[in-house]
């Protein structure tokens, strides 16, 4: 089964606008993480939200988690051209932290 | 700031050859991971390693793959007989606690000809 599927697959917005990306998963989780990847580069950890948390903030990032719907969203406020990247959610699945499953990602393009 | 490092950054090899990809995790971390990303596709979990043994592995991680922590700092991924479809970016990651964030290295691009 697929775990951590994001939508939309691609998103193009103007600088200053907000960007919202969604992630759905199938199995129970202990935590869900969001990562960012610039083209061809490594992954940068953005934020981790635990299953008993509903919302978390970090700078311009806001993450929500709805375990009843098995979904999460990542909101980037006041986007900048430098936010252009791919964003992935990752879950630890039913095995706990030993196996992390990534979604297909959302490619965000912020136009200056 | 501590970081995960990987060498080499790019490895080109002939089909059937053995390759060893190297990683130096963050020094006080206890959990280690390998992932791969085929060009244009998502990041795929390969294996996790804790307390000197494999904790979990995916169906991708078959008998051609092995991992080792030969000393206190390095964490290696060996592919015994490379196939064309092994061409991908390979990422190493480490974390301090099992349910904490993972820190990723910059990756090794493996090209199998």
Q: What is the pLDDT of residues A30-46, one digit of tens each?
A: 889 999 998 877 899 99
Per-residue pLDDT tens for B40-81?
888 999 999 998 999 999 999 999 999 999 887 899 999 999
In a domain, B90, yes or no: yes
Residue A70 lies in domain: 5-111
The whole-angstrom separation of Cα B95 and Cα B11 is 25
Flag whether residue B5 sits within 8 Å of chain A, measured between CB atoms.
no
How much is the pLDDT for A28?
A: 86
In a domain, B26, yes or no: yes
The whole-angstrom separation of Cα B24 and Cα B92 is 8
Q: Flag whether pLDDT at B6 surpasses 50.
A: yes
In a domain, B76, yes or no: yes
- The number of CA neighbours under 13 Å toward the Cβ of B38 is 10
Flag whether residue B56 sits within 8 Å of chain A, measured between CB atoms.
yes
For the stretch B40-44, contacts whose Cβ atoms lie closer than 8 Å and that sit 24 or more positions apart, written own/partner, are: B41/A104, B42/A88, B42/A102, B42/A103, B42/A104, B42/A105, B43/A43, B43/A88, B43/A90, B43/A102, B43/B91, B44/A102
> Chain A to chain B, count of Cβ pairs less than 8 Å apart?
64
How much is the pLDDT for B112?
A: 97
CB contact under 8 A, A45 and B104: yes
CB contact under 8 A, A98 and B48: yes
In a domain, B13, yes or no: yes
Give the number of other CB atoms < 10 A from CB of residue A72.
25
Flag whether residue B58 sits within 8 Å of chain A, measured between CB atoms.
yes
Flag whether residue B31 sits within 8 Å of chain A, measured between CB atoms.
yes
The whole-angstrom separation of Cα B100 and Cα A33 is 9
What mean pLDDT do residues B86-112 have? 91
In a domain, B84, yes or no: yes
How much is the pLDDT for A10?
A: 93
The whole-angstrom separation of Cα A83 and Cα A42 is 15
Q: Which residue has the higher pLDDT, A76 or B39?
A: A76
Residue A82, min C-alpha distance to chain B (Å): 19
Low-confidence ranges of chain A (pLDDT < 70): 1-4, 93-97
With beta carbons less than 8 A apart as the criterion, state whether B102 and B3 touch: no
The whole-angstrom separation of Cα B97 and Cα B94 is 9
Residue with tokens 């060009």: B39
Name the residue in chain B with its Cα closest to that of A41: B106
Residue B10 lies in domain: 5-95
Which CATH number belongs to the domain containing residue A63 in this structure? Answer: 2.60.40.10
The whole-angstrom separation of Cα B86 and Cα A58 is 37
CB contact under 8 A, A100 and B91: no
With beta carbons less than 8 A apart as the criterion, state whether B73 and B59 touch: no
Angle at the Cα of A34 from the Cα atoms of A32 and A37, rounded to 5 degrees = 150
Q: Which of A97, A99, A104 sits opposite B99 (nearest CB)?
A: A97
How much is the pLDDT for B41?
A: 87
Which CATH number belongs to the domain containing residue B71 in this structure? Answer: 2.60.40.10
How many distinct structural domains can be found in chain B? 1
Picking from A56, A89, A100 by the largest number of B CB atoms within 10 A of its own CB, the best residue to mutate is: A100
How much is the pLDDT for A2?
A: 44
How much is the pLDDT for B15?
A: 97
How many distinct structural domains can be found in chain A? 1
How much is the pLDDT for B48?
A: 93
The whole-angstrom separation of Cα B71 and Cα B53 is 13
Residue with tokens 């939200």: A49
């Amino acid at each position: 089964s697929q775990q951590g599927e994001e939508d939309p697959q691609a998103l193009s917005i103007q600088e200053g606008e907000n960007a919202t990306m969604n992630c759905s998963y199938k199995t129970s989780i202990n935590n869900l993480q969001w990562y960012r990847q610039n083209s061809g580069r490594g992954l940068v950890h953005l934020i981790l939200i635990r299953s008993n948390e509903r919302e978390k903030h970090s700078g311009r990032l806001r993450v929500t988690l709805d375990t009843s719907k098995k979904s999460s969203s990542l909101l980037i406020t006041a986007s900048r051209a430098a936010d252009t990247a791919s964003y992935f959610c990752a879950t630890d699945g039913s095995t706990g932290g030993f196996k992390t499953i990534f979604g297909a990602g959302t490619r965000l393009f912020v136009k200056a | 700031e501590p970081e995960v490092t990987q060498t080499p950054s790019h490895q080109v090899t002939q089909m059937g050859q053995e390759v060893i990809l190297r990683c130096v995790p963050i020094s006080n971390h206890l959990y280690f991971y390998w992932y791969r990303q085929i060009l244009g596709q998502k990041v795929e979990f390969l294996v996790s390693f804790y307390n000197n043994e494999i904790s979990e592995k995916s169906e991708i991680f078959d008998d051609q793959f092995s991992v080792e922590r030969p000393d206190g700092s390095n964490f290696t991924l060996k592919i015994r007989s490379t196939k064309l479809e092994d061409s991908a970016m390979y990422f190493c990651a480490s974390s301090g606690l099992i349910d904490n964030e993972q820190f990723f290295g910059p990756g090794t691009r493996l090209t199998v000809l």
